[in-house]
Amino acid sequence: MTRIVCIGESMVEMAPLETPGTYRMGFAGDTLNTAWYLAKLLGDRARVDYFTAVGTDPVSDQMLDFLTQEAIGTANILRRSDRTLGLYMIQLQNGERSFSYWRGQSAARTLAQSGQDIATALRGADIAYFSGITIAILSQHDRETLMTALEEFSTSGGEIVFDPNLRPKLWTTPQDMTQAIMDAARLSDIVLPSYEDEATWFGDQSPEDTARRYAQHGAGIVVVKNGPGEMIVHSDAGLSRHQPEKVSAVIDTTAAGDSFNAGFLASYIAGGPLDQAIAAGARLAARVVTYRGALVEEAVLGHELAG
Ligand code: AMP
């Protein structure tokens, strides 16, 4: 059975309800969203674990209970008595969503203080999945600790999957961000970037440029997502193009990329060929964007791992 470890930050999410001033509390975060979809899609075929740091307070317990209930393994999650979960609040104004974050001191920021903890979490795993947000919340020292642990994981045969998920607000300077992203990509076997962000921060002139840049840094497979636009894929077979599903009424693009990654990886893990995995990712994301919120149960129902 394949074992996947997703590494990153899961936050408390406060999403507005109809009555002004009322919110529904949930848990979300880019790597958690992918873990959630992977666990749903793969069921008994895989074990999906989450690796992060949380507090020892009741809300941290609640998050661990949530993960357990969703069949995501929590055994190696670190507990910090002096910290708690980060939080974000979604505000709706004239139909537009905006996000406010309280995550500067979150427990997750300490997830990579010890290389030993990361090695323990990755022991026996087949795939490690992380993102640009995972590395953005770490100090430079801890980021290097994570990179070293991932490098050891890779040397011992583990496969590394990385979504650059560029978030300049989480970095001191854009240069720090682009440098750290390329350092992380260099360790990765599969890189799953989104073109719009890559064009803005790396100056790529086309999705092909993005695919080539990551391929030249050693990624065996690069899938460049591009919203409703054509995806560009770089693999052993060279560059190929894939049209995503057409969506007539997009409701909310939250977690489009995260769910694409899960749909893609689930199919890839199940042994599907690359183009079927891409189609499966696009199919899942196309359903997710027709619902509000990050974790969409309805989008998973009836999903086939093959494209
Ligand atoms: P993004 O990260 O925005 O490039 O989106 C990730 C993936 O979600 C894309 O590769 C598509 O498969 C899917 N997706 C996002 N937005 C749309 C859309 N408006 N219509 C169809 N698919 C979409």
Report whether residue 131 contacts ligand 1, using a CB cutoff of 6 Å.
Answer: no
- Residue from 37, 166, 225 to probe ligand 1 pocket by mutation (most atoms less than 8 Å from CB): 225
Query: Tokens 């970037």 — which residue?
Result: 193
In Å, the largest CA–CA distance within the chain is: 53
Residue nearest to atom 12 of ligand 1 (CA): 282
Question: Per-residue DSSP letters for 62-93?
Answer: HHHHHHHHTTEE-TT-EEETT----EEEEEEE
Residue 244 CA, closest ligand 1 atom number: 12
Strand order in the sheet with 23-28: 23-28, 11-16, 87-93, 96-102
**Is 71 buried (19+), middle (13-18) or exposed (0-12) by CB count in 10 A?**
middle
- Catalytic residue chosen out of the listed positions 30, 49, 117, 258: 258
pLDDT value, residue 18: 87
pLDDT value, residue 307: 60
DSSP state of 130: E
pLDDT value, residue 230: 97
pLDDT value, residue 97: 82
Closest of 178, 228, 182, 181 to residue 207, by C-alpha? 228
- Active-site residue 258, yes or no? yes
Closest of 157, 167, 215 to residue 191, by C-alpha? 215
Report whether residue 285 contacts ligand 1, using a CB cutoff of 6 Å.
Answer: yes
**Percent of the chain residues topping a pLDDT of 90:** 92
Closest of 161, 152, 184 to residue 268, by C-alpha? 161
N- to C-terminal Cα separation, the chain:
21
Residue nearest to atom 9 of ligand 1 (CA): 227
pLDDT value, residue 196: 97
Mean pLDDT by 10 residues, the chain (307 residues): 97 92 95 98 96 98 98 98 97 84 97 98 98 98 98 98 98 98 98 98 98 96 97 96 94 94 97 95 96 92 81
State pLDDT tens for residues 183-224. 999 999 999 999 999 999 999 999 999 999 999 999 999 999
**Is 241 buried (19+), middle (13-18) or exposed (0-12) by CB count in 10 A?**
exposed
State pLDDT tens for residues 250-297. 998 999 999 999 999 999 999 989 999 999 999 999 999 999 889 999
Tokens in use for 231? 């995806």
pLDDT value, residue 232: 98
